[in-house]
Structure 1
């Protein structure tokens, strides 16, 4: 029998990547679980057994139990329908997005897909060429004047730059065409001066609203989760290992009374500005929701998208990024979920076993 070496190698690489992915999630979940139990005491073992059983019998594998255990420890009970983050990444993402999800990592395509002025894109650098936001090639000698024509400060984001990575800030004095070229493909955006309400929390890092939208089996688009990401006083932009996440009521736009540190420890005020979360509403929240619903209509093939928005000083909605790859669902599931029970994602199985 002929052995297809190339196929065997690919399967081996895929299996190793899957193992690494699951071990990373297991480690992250266990760290948070220990922190929660240290703070709140032991979780009811009956609920933990329900989580373990659900992972094995409903989702199909015990490796999905760690995040279910975190959700259980966080809420104090077990809820059927929860989607563990590693199950989302390995099962839901391939089946509900496929290659269409990967498109969101290519920053220069946003204007082509959406044709929306809600994106603060000024220019793109792609494969050795600079382009305007309308994808017209620009000589290198004209790039600086283009990007600073209406902005004193700009942001450069590399393709596939998510979670605060691959983001740099420039003004005229620090900007250099050769530096951009050395970094790689990406988008140049104008720097957003955020709404005063966000500025009061932390003035340096632009606060972002993470909105998760889905396309159901009837093709209808809806919002399933939302939280506000706030930076710390010394941060130039949101850092995942330092951010404060505050759930937002998707029906009203009001912040929950408590926000959470990266280790999921609760707090009722921003640790730097000391502003309390309770009673505050996100500015222009209906407009934020409206923008997300309209934009998702233009890329419905990716059936779950995480949108990073902000509201500027004039009250206008600005879309900073969209993530149709493995957008974070674990925080929304723990604080607002189960968010996807009607979609029956728990019945999905991997496209292929490794």
Structure 2
């Protein structure tokens, strides 16, 4: 019998990639769980058994149990309907977005797709050429005049930048077109002067609201989660390794009294400024919600999108970024979820679990 070596090789590579993907998530979830249990106590054995059974019965494999344990530990109980972050990445993302989700990693595409003034884009670098938002090619000298015409500070974000990496802040003196070209493709944005409320928490970097919107089976687009991301003292922009996250009430725009550090340590105030979260209602929240729902309506073929939105000093809505690939759902699920229980995502799986050697839970 003839052996298709190429097909076997592709299958092996795919299995290895799947194993690595779930291993990384198991490690991250394990670290989070240990941090939470150190302060809140161990999950009860019967809850662990319930989670293990649920992961196998609903999602097809116990490899999806680690994030469910994290959610349960933070809430003190297990809730049906939670979506594990690795199930979201492995099953939901490819089935509800396909290749369309990759568009968001190309920063110069945002203006072409949305054409919306809420994006603070003022120029692009693509394949060695500088462009205006009207797709006019300009020189490095013209670029500098264009970028600093109405601002003295700009941000540059590389394509596919994430977790605060690939973000650079420049002023007139530090800006160097040659250096920019060495970085690679990306977008130039006006540096947002944030609303004074956010300066109470962190004046050094721009606070952002992370909105998660979905397309429901009926075609209606709805908001499913929201949290505030704050940087730390001395940082020019938010970085995932040090950020402070606080859940936001989706109806009122009010901050939850408790926020979380990167290691899931709970805090009731910003660790640097000592500004408390309790009782804070965010400015222009309803305007932010309307804007992300409107924008998602322009790309309804992408099932779920994460939006990073800032509010400027005049309460203007500024969409700094959108993530249509594996946007973070674990924080929303842990603090506000189940957020997606009515969407039928648990039925997207093929019904076949991972190979025995790939089981990590």
TM range (shorter): over 0.9
Partner of 2:175: 175
Is the 8 Å Cα contact of residues 60 and 351 (structure 2) preserved in structure 1? no
CA distance in 1, matches of 2:351, 2:150: 48
Give the 5 Å matches for 1:293-304. Answer: 293-304=293-304
CA distance in 1, matches of 2:124, 2:11: 36
Shifted more, 219-228 versus 342-351: the winner is: 342-351
Shift of 1:350: 4.7
Shift of 1:351: 9.9
Partner of 1:30: 30
Is the 8 Å Cα contact of residues 260 and 266 (structure 1) preserved in structure 2? yes
Shift of 1:8: 2.7
Partner of 1:72: 72
How many correspondences in the alignment? 354
- Give the TM-score normalised by structure 1: 0.97
Partner of 2:199: 199
Give the 5 Å matches for 1:1-354. Answer: 1-350=1-350
5+ long unaligned stretches in structure 1 = none
Which secondary structure does the structure 2 equivalent of 1:163 belong to? coil
Shift of 1:40: 1.1
Shift of 1:274: 1.0
Provide the alpha-carbon RMSD of the alignment.
1.3
Is the 8 Å Cα contact of residues 95 and 351 (structure 1) preserved in structure 2? no
CA distance in 2, matches of 1:152, 1:69: 47
- Give the TM-score normalised by structure 2: 0.96
CA distance in 2, matches of 1:22, 1:103: 24
Shifted more, 14-23 versus 288-297: the winner is: 14-23
Residue deviations 1:89-117 (CA, integer Å, cap 9, x gap): 00000001000111000000000110100
Shift of 1:163: 1.3
Shift of 1:144: 0.9
